[in-house]
Amino acid sequence: MIEVSALSVRLGEREVLTGVDLSVRRGEWLAIIGPNGAGKSTLLKAVMGLVRHRGTVVVDGRAAATLRPRDRARLVAYAPQAPSLPPDMTVLDYALLGRTPYIPYLGRESRRDREVTASVLERLDLTGFAARRVGELSGGERQRVVLARALAQEAPALLLDEPTTALDLGHQQQVLELVDRLRVADGLTVVTTLHDLTLAGQYADRLLLLADGHAVATGPPAQVLTGKLVGEHFDARVEITPGPGGRPVVHLLRGAT
């Protein structure tokens, strides 16, 4: 579904990504992990065509560079790590923004656009919030609203940058389960960055470990989440034990520096 090869990005004077390859099949869940500043967010933005880059990005068999923004937005939806939320906008209007690629430039949203948006709000437990102003929500509520916007886009591929950071335990599970259900039911392709390595290992089919702009490891969770790789690239001392379903669970060890 998404094929990235030899992707390099320069921001200002710094080379933020160097020769990154990435490939996600339709219906697959890829989690990008890596320490702060590794280039995870930049990688997602490059796939969205939001930063200038070298190398090629192919989405659904088509070179992304040749896609009109509108067509690209129908293929890939993106929820940024730090979205900017217009404080006065209502939750419903904000989620409706996700329908932008389907609304004619000077036109207005159709009945179907409203229906899709309403059903997404319902699935995310947000129906009661529809008339609330976005500026009056808690951090976790905001994060769900942003996810609602991305889901309203009805794109076959979903790029989520840290979708669970502000969520409580229950909502983390709810959001990731929802994404997983959509993936299974509609064959959605999912790429997320996730700081919680255990969560990443639980939900993703494959992990991509980025460090300092390089893809240093990729593969199924058990291959990437090893004490050696995590210790080396996160500069952390951890113990990794097999968890439910044989997927690795990462424990931080106390008293280590």
Ligand X SMILES: Nc1ncnc2c1ncn2[C@@H]1O[C@H](COP(=O)(O)OP(=O)(O)OP(=O)(O)O)[C@@H](O)[C@H]1O
Binding-site ranges for other proteins (CB under 8 A): 45, 48-50, 68-74, 77-78, 80, 83-90, 92-93, 97-98, 100-101, 103, 105-109, 131, 135-136, 153
Residue closer to ligand X (CB basis): 50 or 253: 50
- What mask, x for binding Mg ion by CB under 5 A, covers residues 34 to 73? ------xx--------------------------------
Q: Using CB under 5 A, pick the residue from 8, 18, 23, 81 that binds Mg ion.
A: 81
CB of 235 to Mg ion, least distance (A): 17
CB of 59 to other proteins, least distance (A): 13
Per CB under 6 A, does 42 bind ligand X? Answer: yes
Using a 10 angstrom Cβ sphere, with 0-12 exposed, 13-18 middle and 19 or more buried, the burial of residue 257 is exposed
- β-pair type (62-63, 54-59): antiparallel
Which pair of tokens denotes residue 67?
């896609």
The closest of 240, 239, 231, 236 to 256, measured between CA atoms, is: 236
Count other C-beta atoms under 10 Å from residue 111's C-beta.
7
Please name the residues in contact with 10: beta carbons below 8 A apart, sequence gap of 6 or more.
16, 52
Per CB under 6 A, does 41 bind ligand X? Answer: yes
Site for ligand X in 74-93 (CB under 6 A): 81
CB of 69 to other proteins, least distance (A): 5
Q: CA 218 to CA 211: how far, in whole Å? A: 12
Helices (H), 61-219: 69-75, 91-96, 111-123, 139-152, 169-186, 197-203
Residues that bind ligand X (CB under 6 A): 11-12, 14, 16, 34, 36-42, 81
Residues that bind Mg ion (CB under 5 A): 40-41, 81
